[in-house]
Amino acid sequence: MNRFYDLASLTKPLVTAPLALAFLDLNADRRWTLGFHDRETPLTVRQLLSHCSGLPPWRPFTGESLAIQLQRAVAGHPLLRPATPGLATYSDLNYRLLAELLEAETGLPFASLGRAAGLDPAPWLEPPTEVPDGPDAAAWALATEAPLPRHDPHLPQDANTRAGMRGHAGFGTTAPQLRPALARWIAAGWADRMAVQVADGENGTHWGLGLQVAYAGEGRFGQLLSRIPAGSGLKVLEDATEAAPAAVPALRDDPGPASGWWFHLGYTGPALFYRPSDRSCIGLLLHRRGPNGDLLDAEALRARRWNALARFVGQSGG
């Protein structure tokens, strides 16, 4: 039986960004369309794709207008903080707005549009491995009086998307299903259009139109990826383990040089890596359930991804 995975935020580059690039004007001002009547600067699809719109990282999806929701003060929490002025701030809200624009432009539900990617929109017939609530559950109660959405194994695993948030999550896959989906994604040119540096981001990151630069500094994924020979092609790696991950190199503050690879990560564990120079691509399918049924923290999840990539790099002769 093929294990099913919740792709979480890999929905952004694999579904939402290609649809936006196909259907939307990247430079038109969408302030009024999206209800941001008091915003003093333009709001464009290019900004939303590259996370440089100035929107905060997260708000709970309660069904109300985001522009109205953002007018209310919220308690302190890393997910609820303001964007960093002048720097791209990774935000689920950017892709929530892209989904709204796509539905308005096409007259079709986002899930129906996304099926063209070859991935499965929620609700899913086969649920992925369940993980406990993450930081969004705590942030939810600080931002709204609406109750936290109920658990449902057939819906995405973070509270925000269980509530129906479109654009940034909601699609899943098996390993055999992901490979042809990635092949179409590359052949259509979407990956190359996303891997173009657009914005400087927080913590030394650099964003394109849906992917970010992978650097080769100590403990960064680019350190491993740089060892992969040219022409390695398309690979889908699957790691279904729930064992505690082995220790990996510490993540240094210095990002080092660009590795030539671009990437995106999913909250539930999967990851996507792409190298424009030879169109090599790696889809990594794993989850963040720990050995005791716990939610792996960010460092342990990095270690699980690192170990899976390291095994592949060793096998590829890198």
Mean pLDDT within 281-293:
96
The per-residue pLDDT for range 90-118, each reduced to its tens digit, is 999 999 999 999 999 999 999 999 999 99
As a whole-number percent, the residues of the chain with pLDDT over 90 amount to: 90
Distance of CA 294 to CAs 3, 129, 151, 307, Å?
Answer: 19, 12, 16, 19
Report pLDDT for 316.
74
- What whole-number distance in Å separates Cα of residue 175 and Cα of residue 5? 8
160-174, 275-289, 295-309: segment of lowest average pLDDT: 160-174
- What whole-number distance in Å separates Cα of residue 155 and Cα of residue 172? 10
When computed from its CA atoms, the radius of gyration of the chain, rounded to whole angstroms, is 19
Report pLDDT for 164.
84
Mean pLDDT within 74-103:
96
Q: Average pLDDT over the chain, rounded to whole?
A: 95
> What does the block give as tokens for 139?
């942030």
The per-residue pLDDT for range 149-202, each reduced to its tens digit, is 988 999 999 888 888 889 999 999 999 999 999 999 999 999 999 999 899 999
The residue count for the chain: 318
Q: In the structure, what pLDDT confidence band is assigned to residue 206 with cuts at 50, 70 and 90?
A: very high
pTM to 2 decimals?
0.96
Report pLDDT for 80.
96
Amino acid identity at 191: A
Given a cut of 90, whether residue 245 has pLDDT beyond it is: yes
Report pLDDT for 318.
63
Strand partners, 234: 281
Mean pLDDT within 275-302:
96
Q: Within 10 Å of residue 85's Cβ, how many Cβ atoms? A: 7
Contact assessment for residue 205 and residue 259, using Cβ atoms and an 8 Å cutoff: no
Given a cut of 80, whether residue 1 has pLDDT beyond it is: no
Report pLDDT for 159.
87
- What whole-number distance in Å separates Cα of residue 46 and Cα of residue 27? 6
Report pLDDT for 163.
82
Distance of CA 104 to CAs 33, 122, 157, 168, Å?
Answer: 9, 21, 27, 17
Mean pLDDT within 255-284:
97
- What whole-number distance in Å separates Cα of residue 244 and Cα of residue 29? 47
In the sheet that 4-6 helps form, which strands lie side by side, from edge to edge?
4-6, 171-174, 120-121
Closest CA to 134 of 200, 208, 58: 58
Contact assessment for residue 18 and residue 185, using Cβ atoms and an 8 Å cutoff: yes
Mean pLDDT within 41-51:
98
Mean pLDDT within 127-138:
91
Given a cut of 90, whether residue 212 has pLDDT beyond it is: yes
